Structure 1
Amino acid sequence: MALMSRSARRAVFLLGLALGAPGCARPPAEAGPVPVARSAQDLRVVQNRVVATGNGEQVMRAMAATLQDRGFRMAEVDVGAGRIAATRWPFQRITLQQRRLDAGRTGIEADAYVRIEGQDVQVDDPRYYETDLFGPLSQALGLPLGAAAP
């Protein structure tokens, strides 16, 4: 059996890389999120609540506990910004953001997406936010959540 020269081995190696490269190519860019039918103002009403506490740490803990209880995995937690991003792989993602409104009130905003046929679709169903998120969050806080001003 004849041994290949160094240049022949190199040529075979480079050919192998060239033939294997298409399998490593990036998929085509995906389109952005599918727009929802609701107006931006209507969507804000659905996605925002106010709780009667200025205790940001309590709100962050309740947001994290609620998401975990609902089967989400934390993807990003930024305590300083009051934001938690979580996923229920591979079909759903949500971001919760808290903001202090004044000494005794905290605003909570939720933004949820589901993946349908390879595209992110924003959840705009009020029942989802109320039943699956804000209801359990209210229980975790032990405080009622009120509607935010539009």
Structure 2
Amino acid sequence: MNLRVVTMIPSIRRQLCVAALALVSIPALAEPDVPSPPEDVKPIRVSGLGIRVSDLERSKQFYTEVLGLKVAARVPAQGEAHEYLLGLTGNIREDTLIIIRRGEVQPGATEFGSITIVVPNGRKMAERVLAAGYQAARPLGDGTNFVRDPDGYLIELYQRPTARVQ
């Protein structure tokens, strides 16, 4: 009986080695070897996010007067605006922009995810949004909160966690 166990161990070891090698060689489990784009076409930064809004001026008011963003540009520069580029500083070259465009908000368009804005106090900013007549997307709590813009887009008012003292 001991002889059988001794002869089975190398067999089991061999089977495990073969199985391990097979797993390592499966292409679907391996990281794809995708080369980085060449420097002359490599993205520099994420510039912004564009959304369609039903009332351009109402949305501009929400993002500027309630949330505190600044207009970095309007398109076209003269005449009736079709879109606004909004950011924290108003510098179109440095900000990550929220681009609001006049247009029909298609069903389901507002459920793409959320627009995240980092704020020092998520609850206070959410209370400001509610005081301006807009809706909370979830019950308010301490820290990060979620509200809706005039068209129903989900806005995450992200408050960075504070360091815990232990």
TM-score by length of 2: 0.31
Larger % of helix: which?
Answer: 1
Q: Which one has the largest radius of gyration?
A: 2
Larger % of strand: which?
Answer: 1
Higher-RCO chain (CA-CA 8 Å, sequence separation at least 6): 1
